[in-house]
């Protein structure tokens, strides 16, 4: 059985590593000392909206390491979960320290990370991936999955899906990951709105003024994608071009039509909210920024995405966590 390295163990990486270790996969978490020290002291606790709540002690089946050379020495499968800005640096570390036959999977937000890894490591070693659900680190130390969905990875590597598909971490394959990643990016445009609002996801998505902002961002993205000849894959219950219209429905109709979308754990928040609260750089330039860049390359404008991007940048500079804005202020 291949040793699995979580390269960049944050919220997503710790949850994924925990589920894999619970299923008997040998796992190493490579991350910051401050986080790994807490896990070493109390174990790795993972939970989800379906009732999972387990704490794993560290040991041979769940190793912790802050040293890339030591962590990567026996890695057979590397799940990259660092922030987008750190992708190039992680690719260099993998190239230097990991076995040359280790397979690398990008489980990151945005649309270009697998390409960055492949440029450094070679296309035969890298698979694109997409994480559909929300993971947040709670004050009690849990890594909690608050929404549902299946991780998607690029098809073409026999046995990888079965290796990763464990309880709490369902995995499927796709032959068109570009379409999958753009479809997910359209959904992820809400990450910034959730961060600006400071509200739990369920409360924020239930409010029509916030949904209207998300719908207008998605329309800007869909226009740019259409101009670029890219057809995004379905990442929610509806096709991407129908989702903004659903978001615009009045609250009573939306609650009836979008019951599945509203089945969000009350604890769930976006990763960008967590970044602001922990005073870390966000991935705004890889989400709203990607829409703005695509639109500009094809002679279009994306003013709502630009406004949201600028507000997040201002919140990053302020360093005071979520600004707690009302939708009207956005």
CATH number at residue 46: 3.40.50.720
User: What is the domain count for the chain?
Assistant: 2
Q: 151 with 183, same domain?
A: no
* Mean pLDDT of the 197-214 span: 95
* Residue 157 and residue 143 share a domain: yes
Residue 238 binned pLDDT confidence (cut-offs 50, 70, 90): confident
Residues 234, 218 share a domain = yes
pLDDT at residue 104 tops 80: yes
* Span 102-123, average pLDDT: 95
Q: What is the pLDDT of residues 8-50, one digit of tens each?
A: 999 999 999 999 999 999 999 999 999 999 999 999 999 988 8
Tell me the average pLDDT across 131-146. 87
Question: Does 128 lie in the same domain as 34?
Answer: yes
In this structure, the answer to whether residues 18 and 152 fall within a common structural domain is yes
Establish if 315 belongs to a structural domain. yes
Q: Cβ of 155: how many Cβ atoms within 10 Å?
A: 15
Residues 238 and 168 in one domain: no
Mean predicted lDDT score pLDDT of the chain = 93
The Cα 278–Cα 241 span in angstroms is 34
3 neighbors 75 (Cβ within 8 angstroms): yes
The percentage of the chain sitting over the pLDDT mark of 70, rounded to a whole number, equals 98
Helix, strand, coil percent content, the chain, rounded in steps of 5? 45, 15, 35
Q: Which domain holds residue 283?
A: 178-320
Same domain, 162 and 200: no
pLDDT in tens, 45-90: 999 888 889 999 999 899 999 999 999 999 999 999 999 889 999 9
Q: Cβ distance 217 to 192 under 8 Å?
A: no
Question: Do residue 22 and residue 116 come from a single domain?
Answer: yes
What pLDDT score was predicted for residue 260? Answer: 67
Residue 311 DSSP SS3? helix
Q: Comparing 248 with 140, which gets the higher pLDDT? A: 248
pLDDT at 307: 98
pLDDT value at 301 more than 90 = yes
Q: What is the mean pLDDT of residues 228-248?
A: 88
Inter-CA distances, 11 with 19, 25, 141, 193, Å: 12, 19, 10, 19
330 within a domain of the structure (yes/no): no
pTM: 0.87
Burial 281-296 (b: 16+ CB within 10 A, else e): ebbbbbbbbbbbebbe
**Residue 114 belongs to some domain of the structure:** yes
Q: Of 145, 175, 205, which residue constitutes the final position of a domain?
A: 175
CA–CA distance, 45 with 39 (Å, rounded to integer): 8
Q: Please report which confidence band the pLDDT of residue 158 belongs to, taking 50, 70 and 90 as the band edges.
A: confident
Q: Are residues 157 and 199 in the same domain?
A: no
- Give the three-state DSSP class for 118: helix
| 262 or 97, higher pLDDT | 97
- CATH code of the domain in which 204 resides: 1.10.1040.10
Q: At which of 175, 201, 219 does a domain end?
A: 175
Find the DSSP H helices in 27-134: 33-42, 68-72, 87-97, 113-121
Residue 133: band (very low, low, confident or very high) from pLDDT cuts 50, 70, 90: confident
Say what percent of the chain tops pLDDT 90: 81
DSSP class of 25? -
At residue 99, the 3 state secondary structure works out as coil
Residues 167 and 240 in one domain: no
Cα radius of gyration (the chain): 19
CA–CA gap between residue 250 and residue 45 (Å, rounded)? 39
Evaluate if residue 114 carries a pLDDT over 70: yes
Does 328 map to a domain? no
**Does residue 204 carry a pLDDT above 90?**
yes
Mean pLDDT on 158-170 = 94
Instruction: Indicate whether 325 belongs to any domain.
Output: no
d(CA 62, CA 248): 45
The per-residue pLDDT for 78 is 98
Q: Is the pLDDT of residue 261 over 90?
A: no
* Whole-number pLDDT of residue 87: 95
194 and 256 fall within a common domain? yes
Give the residue among 102, 37, 104, 29 at the shortest CA–CA distance from 68.
29
Domain-embedded: residue 329: no
pLDDT band at 149 (very low <50, low <70, confident <90, very high): confident
Alpha-carbon distance of 89 to 86, in angstroms, equals: 5
């Amino acid at each position: 059985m291949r040793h699995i390295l979580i390269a960049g163990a944050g919220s997503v990486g710790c949850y994924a590593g925990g589920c894999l270790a619970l299923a008997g996969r040998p796992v190493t978490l490579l991350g910051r000392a401050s986080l790994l020290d807490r896990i070493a002291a109390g174990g790795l606790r993972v939970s989800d909206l379906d009732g999972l709540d387990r704490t794993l002690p560290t040991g041979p089946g769940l190793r912790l390491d802050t040293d890339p050379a030591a962590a990567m020495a026996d890695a057979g499968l590397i799940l990259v979960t660092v922030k987008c800005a750190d992708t190039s640096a992680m690719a260099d570390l993998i190239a230097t320290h990991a076995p040359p036959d280790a397979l690398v999977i990008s489980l990151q937000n945005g649309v270009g990370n697998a390409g960055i890894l492949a440029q450094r490591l070679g296309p035969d070693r890298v698979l694109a991936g997409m994480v559909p659900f929300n993971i947040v680190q709670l004050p009690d130390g849990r890594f909690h999955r608050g929404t549902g969905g299946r991780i998607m990875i690029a098809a073409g590597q026999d046995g990888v899906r079965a290796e990763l598909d464990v309880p709490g971490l369902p995995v499927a394959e796709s032959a068109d990951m570009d379409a999958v990643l753009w479809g997910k990016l359209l959904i992820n445009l809400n990450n910034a709105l959730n961060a600006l609002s400071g509200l739990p996801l369920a409360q924020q998505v239930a409010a029509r003024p916030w949904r209207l902002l998300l719908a207008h961002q998605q329309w800007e993205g869909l226009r740019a994608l259409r101009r670029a000849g890219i057809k995004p894959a379905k990442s929610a219950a509806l096709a991407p071009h129908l989702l903004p219209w659903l978001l615009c429905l009045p609250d009573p109709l939306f609650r009836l039509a979008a019951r599945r979308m509203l089945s969000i754990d009350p604890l769930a928040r976006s990763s960008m909210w967590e970044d602001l609260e922990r005073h870390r750089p966000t991935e705004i330039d890889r989400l709203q920024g990607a829409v703005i860049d695509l639109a500009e390359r094809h002679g279009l404008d994306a003013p709502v995405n630009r406004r949201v991007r600028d507000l997040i940048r201002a919140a990053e500079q302020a360093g005071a966590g979520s600004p707690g804005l009302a939708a009207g202020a956005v």
